[in-house]
Structure 1
């Protein structure tokens, strides 16, 4: 079996006395779409942030494409990488946040181009044509010169997806990308994510959109209280869950 794109083994994370992740194991294969479901406070967002070392885990380890995230191993000990090396690792991982996090003083086109220009030091003549193609891909080619404040929430989130793709990442993480949107705007963002899934992009999506999980996911993970209680194909986890907590959660959201 080929090496997984994402490999979490025995991951623990606490904030003070609050234990948020309690021994999480998770593997995601290249090209796979994994949807993470669970109630608020179950550790889903912390899980995502641990994958690209925005949160340092207390125990266990995280690897992306075979590379240990945030650390290097010397003998039997782990040593944290320097910040520049952690930033280099993050350039291979796109992250789409709940709240868009666009730069308000930059145009849409400049928002998409910013990371390859600053983090990857790629030339403008190479970056801007790619940024325009990505805006076209998410249906916003006509908004290249607009500023974020001139866009709807759904449009801003589509720009955020284009920005994440501008780094040509191995993996894209989505942290509840539709939860801040009005209901009528959710569909346009999910359509872009469906297109990414069809193109073979490796994705981990934290969401409450069970319909999206059923339609697009290769694997569904259910988390509660810092634990992965269940993982499997959508038909198994959503239609025939084995764990009572999963059944209780789904009965309220379906």
Structure 2
């Protein structure tokens, strides 16, 4: 089985800030990590490879430093890594990102299964996975919480719903997005870390994947951030000070006016 896993390097959630000029996430000087949902996608891909055989190729679109998360994926059992990196990709929205990843997947070649995390924690749109499937003209299923059965011809899985879950069977090729309930990512072994350190990362530019310049980056993004602002304060606020007993007394006095 040939599996492709799309992963993303994102800013650490505890150190997120916006660029006041571009209204995009500031990434320079900010510690980055693999998108948490993508870690589960990598783990599930490696698990399927161990069960059915085949290869796992991890794919990421980002700056050169995104090699870090690709090597992390290799240390956890992935076989190959591809980084799509070009200044022309800067400012891409989910539409342009899906198009770029689709061109990269086509460049990689044949595949049976594509796995993605449900969403990235920096954008929280959950659009790139389905968008990639649309670009590739293949079926997709989102929010997979468990793969019940996996064979060389089909997958039987549970799709998380608000009131329970659906059980679905799909043939290949297909794209799945996964949630955190699907597994527990493994800790890289020493052997895995050594393999990742020596691994060659294939870097592809916009020209390498044959991307249309009008469909990538800001130029290919139908949606753009026009303004960023904090939500307006809701109602009156009061700060209680002093000892716990003093604060309790102040709170009781304030609540008394509503009785």
Do these two structures clear the TM 0.5 threshold for a shared fold by scoring above it? Answer: no
Structure ranking higher in helix proportion: 1
Query: Larger Rg: 1 or 2?
Result: 2
TM range (shorter): under 0.3
TM-score normalised by structure 1 residue count: 0.24
TM-score normalised by structure 2 residue count: 0.24
